[in-house]
Chain A
Amino acid sequence: EVQLVESGGGLVQPGGSLRLSCAASGFTFSSYWMSWVRQAPGKGLEWVGNIKQDGSEKYYVDSVKGRFTISRDNAKNSLYLQMNSLRAEDTAVYYCVSPDGWGQGTMVTVSS
């Protein structure tokens, strides 16, 4: 069974940084593209970005380009999201997503 467990969320001031992690199990992590998707309070889903199996290709939504970086460690079955220059509009639950499963999400709140 696919299991994805996010961690690293919390309260951060505008302009600050945060690193999210996702521990994957139950499938061959290194064989799949992985994504981050976020959901602002009371809003719909927004794709943040994704990364190829070997990390050689990455894509991001325009609103986070230059500020967020996705990476992965296939030896540790882990996915990461480094978030810099955070803004109030980045406040959301961030989900780690595989082709067949979603994590439970981790809340990121950007506020002074």
Chain B
Amino acid sequence: QSVLTQPPSASGTPGQRVTISCSGSSSNIGSNYVYWYQQLPGTAPKLLISRNNQRPSGVPDRFSGSKSGTSASLAISGLRSEDEADYYCAAWDDSLSGRVFGGGTKLTVL
């Protein structure tokens, strides 16, 4: 069982907006930055959002991150077929003195 909780699956149709939630606690999301990673099938993960809401260069502005209290969300607008992937949230946990990941959300574009 992962320290950060994500829904195992999400789906949407092309052009739709979907959000993926990530729930934690005061020792991780509540006091540290949240990061989001995208893992396309058969490839290594890629940084999508850093420090709660910062997009690295090259990441489309269709992707956005937000954080409130002990929860965070990843929003994808204008959904495309190439967005079909696994998405993971992560944060440092002060109590564990380690980085923790969510269990991952498999996004399906219908």
Contacts and interface: CB of A to CB of B under 8 A. Distances in A.
Interface of A: 35, 37, 44-47, 49-50, 59-61, 95, 99-105
Given A44-B2, A45-B37, A103 B44 contact: yes
Contacts of B56: 100
Interface stretch (B13-21, B61-69, B72-80, B97-105): B97-105
Contact of B98 (A45, A61, A95, A104): A61
B28 to A, nearest CB: 12
Interface string B19-61: 0000000000000000001010000111100100000100000
B47 A101 contact: yes
B85 interface: no
A50 B98 CA distance: 8
Contacts of A104: 44
Given A47-B100, A100-B56, A101-B47, 11 more contacts: A37-B101, A44-B2, A44-B86, A45-B37, A45-B39, A45-B45, A47-B98, A47-B99, A61-B98, A102-B46, A103-B44
A45 B101 contact: yes
